[in-house]
């Protein structure tokens, strides 16, 4: 329980799979609670004793299955099972009691489905639950009409309108947040990839510096390897008696730096363990733009001090940055000059030594993707005066 609470508090740092597992765990706790409540209310329902034993038993089995599926990491299937279970409990309470608290279960079920934040699941199961709720009110709603009701028909209609309204409003919320979430994610992944390119270049400069200075790369330095090994053994001693077992994995990690890791991973003749560790260590190599290197560069940027924030700090669109037409054209000329004179590309061996040619820049300028940086008007200005750009910049 404490672990679940901790996970809830730090849920933003969990992976998608971990979040789904957490959600299934939370729903399971609620499902168990509602099962308990349904059994408590069984004295009020109209079912026979057999039904009152068989149905909750099946529901308990379904809960058990959900837990098992979560344990074996089949979270998605577990999610569906938890939904079936809550639908089952809703049916059991609603049909059995024909009371107002039973009707609340339709909202509970919708909330559980909403919780999973999967639009298709919501459309399908949520839609089915809403239809079932509407059907229930249309045919059995008379048992839920209050004694104060002015017009029973209006009361019935109110139930239906609120249930459908609840479904639709959450559907709207889904569409809005899904849209925002997807756009943000898309932009984030795109920027992650762009960032990887900058870091590729940074690393390349650093590797070239090491090579030029004739210094032994760190991953080949015995003292560095020894330090990593000793620290790893020290940590591992907290996990297993033979802390030293990790030492050979440290050796393997450093060994991988001079190997073609992809070919090790793909080599089916090698031991599974060897390939598995090669694949996992690949993310942390020091001579590639790995996750480790990316995080190291990000760490470095964290300590570089803060510039003042301006509203255009993350804007790269020349058309938006400048309102004056002359400035727009001048900035285009500067951009062209930058691309035409600075080394911005890698050759086929990965060396940073390529400057873009006029025709390559032209192609870039007229591409659809480049509208992120320059407007159609600027492209037309460039095309109209192409020869001047090429000759004087």
Partner 1 sequence: MRQDTNKYQYGQLETYKESLELKHIKTKTLIINLVLFVFAFVVGYFLIKLEIKTTHMAGILTLFGVLFVANLSLYSYSHDLFNNLKLAMYFNSILVFVIAVSLILIFQTPSIFTILFLAYAVTAIYQDYKVMILSNFTLFLTGSLLVVRFTDIFSIPGSTASQNVLILIFLIVFVLLLTLSSYILIKRKSFFYNQLAQIKESEVRNMDLLMEVENIHMKKKFNSTNYYKSLELFSKELSRKIGIENIFSRKIKLLKDLKKYNLSEINERYPDYSIEEIKELKNLELSVNKKMRNIGIKSSKSIGIEVTRKEIFSESQFKSFKHFDDEMYVKIISFVVFYCLLKIDKPYLKELSEDKVKDIFLNSEYYYKVDRDVLNIYLENNKVFDTIVNDLLKDNLNYASHT
Subset of residues 141 to 170 that bind partner 1, contact rule: CB under 8 A:
143-151, 154-156, 158-159, 161-163, 165-166, 169-170
Instruction: For the CB of residue 258, give the shortest distance to partner 1 in the complex, in Å.
Output: 16
Q: Are 370 and 319 in contact (CB under 8 A)?
A: no
- Using CB under 8 A, which of 299, 347, 349, 359 touches partner 1? 299
End-to-end CA distance of the chain: give it in Å, rounded: 67
- Segment lying near partner 1 (by CB under 8 A), choices 54-62, 74-82, 261-269, 323-331: 323-331
Q: How far apart are CA 370 and CA 356, in angstroms?
A: 15
Q: How far apart are CA 84 and CA 125, in angstroms?
A: 9
- Using CB under 8 A, which of 100, 127, 260, 266 touches partner 1? 100
Burial class of residue 265, CB neighbours in 10 A (0-12, 13-18, 19+): middle
Q: Does 366 bind partner 1 (CB under 8 A)?
A: no
- Segment lying near partner 1 (by CB under 8 A), choices 47-55, 77-85, 262-270, 288-296: 288-296
Token couple for 150: 């002015």
Residue/partner pairs of 184-188 with CB below 8 Å, 24 or more apart: none
- Using CB under 8 A, which of 49, 139, 223, 269 touches partner 1? 223
Binding mask 56-85 for partner 1 (x = CB under 8 A): ------------------------------
214 CB contacts (<8 Å, ≥6 apart)? none
Query: Using CB under 8 A, which residues numbered 368 to 387 contact partner 1?
Result: 369-370, 372-373, 385
Q: How far apart are CA 253 and CA 282, in angstroms?
A: 9
Q: Are 78 and 27 in contact (CB under 8 A)?
A: no
List C-alpha distances in Å: 1 to 25, 66, 68, 197.
10, 17, 17, 43
Pick 67 or 99: Cβ nearer partner 1: 99
Query: Using CB under 8 A, which residues numbered 174 to 193 contact partner 1?
Result: 176-177, 180-182, 184-193
Ramachandran sector of residue 93 (left: φ over 0; alpha: ψ -120 to 50; beta: rest): alpha
Q: Does 139 bind partner 1 (CB under 8 A)?
A: no
Burial class of residue 46, CB neighbours in 10 A (0-12, 13-18, 19+): exposed
- φ and ψ of 353, to 5 deg: -155, 15
Q: Are 174 and 113 in contact (CB under 8 A)?
A: no
Token couple for 143: 């048992």
- Using CB under 8 A, which of 53, 71, 101, 138 touches partner 1? 101
Instruction: For the CB of residue 307, give the shortest distance to partner 1 in the complex, in Å.
Output: 8
Pick 304 or 348: Cβ nearer partner 1: 304
Instruction: For the CB of residue 153, give the shortest distance to partner 1 in the complex, in Å.
Output: 10
- Using CB under 8 A, which of 138, 230, 259, 357 touches partner 1? 230
Q: How far apart are CA 308 and CA 317, in angstroms?
A: 20
Pick 69 or 335: Cβ nearer partner 1: 335
Pick 50 or 302: Cβ nearer partner 1: 302
Token couple for 112: 């559980």
Q: Does 269 bind partner 1 (CB under 8 A)?
A: no
- Segment lying near partner 1 (by CB under 8 A), choices 50-58, 64-72, 258-266, 324-332: 324-332
Q: Does 241 bind partner 1 (CB under 8 A)?
A: no
Pick 173 or 267: Cβ nearer partner 1: 173
- Using CB under 8 A, which of 52, 111, 121, 375 touches partner 1? 111
Q: Does 349 bind partner 1 (CB under 8 A)?
A: no
Ramachandran sector of residue 350 (left: φ over 0; alpha: ψ -120 to 50; beta: rest): left
Q: How far apart are CA 379 and CA 373, in angstroms?
A: 10
Query: Using CB under 8 A, which residues numbered 12 to 41 contact partner 1?
Result: 12-13, 15-19, 22-23, 26, 30, 33-34, 37, 41
Instruction: For the CB of residue 241, give the shortest distance to partner 1 in the complex, in Å.
Output: 14
Pick 50 or 365: Cβ nearer partner 1: 365
Pick 50 or 173: Cβ nearer partner 1: 173
Q: How far apart are CA 291 and CA 373, in angstroms?
A: 29
């Amino acid at each position: 329980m404490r672990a679940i609470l901790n996970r809830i508090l730090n849920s933003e740092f969990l992976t998608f799979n971990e979040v789904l597992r957490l959600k299934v765990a939370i729903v399971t706790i609620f499902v168990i609670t509602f099962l308990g409540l349904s059994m408590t209310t069984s004295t009020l329902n109209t079912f026979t004793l057999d039904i009152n034993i068989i149905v909750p038993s099946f529901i308990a089995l379904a809960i058990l299955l959900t837990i098992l599926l979560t344990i074996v990491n089949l979270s998605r299937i577990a999610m569906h099972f938890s939904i079936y279970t809550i639908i089952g409990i809703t049916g059991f309470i609603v049909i059995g009691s024909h009371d107002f608290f039973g009707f609340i279960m339709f909202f509970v079920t919708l909330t559980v489905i909403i919780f999973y934040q999967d639009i298709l699941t919501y459309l399908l199961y949520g839609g089915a639950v809403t239809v079932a709720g509407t059907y229930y009110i249309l045919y059995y709603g008379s048992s839920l009409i209050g004694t104060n009701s002015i017009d029973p028909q209006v009361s019935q209609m109110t139930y239906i309108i609120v249930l459908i309204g609840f479904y639709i409003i959450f559907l709207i919320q889904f569409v809005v947040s899904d849209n925002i979430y997807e756009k943000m994610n898309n932009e984030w992944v795109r920027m992650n990839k762009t960032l990887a390119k900058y870091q590729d270049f940074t690393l390349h400069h650093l590797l070239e510096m090491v090579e030029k200075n004739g210094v032994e790369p760190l991953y080949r330095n015995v003292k560095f390897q020894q330090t990593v090994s000793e620290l790893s053994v020290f940590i591992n001693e907290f996990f297993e008696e033979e802390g030293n077992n990790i030492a050979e994995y440290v050796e393997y990690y450093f060994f991988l730096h001079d190997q073609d890791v992809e070919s090790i991973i793909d080599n089916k003749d090698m031991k599974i363990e060897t390939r598995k560790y090669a694949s996992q260590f690949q993310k942390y190599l020091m001579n590639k733009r790995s996750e480790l290197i990316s995080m190291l560069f990000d760490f470095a940027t964290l300590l570089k001090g803060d510039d003042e924030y301006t509203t255009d700090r993350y804007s790269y669109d020349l058309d938006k940055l400048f309102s004056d037409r002359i400035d727009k054209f001048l900035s285009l000329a500067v951009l062209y000059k930058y691309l035409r004179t600075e080394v911005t590309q890698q050759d086929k061996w990965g060396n940073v030594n390529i400057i873009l040619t006029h025709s390559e820049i032209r192609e870039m300028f007229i591409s659809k993707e480049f509208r992120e940086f320059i407007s159609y008007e600027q492209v037309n200005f460039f095309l109209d005066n192409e020869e001047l750009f090429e000759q004087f910049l």
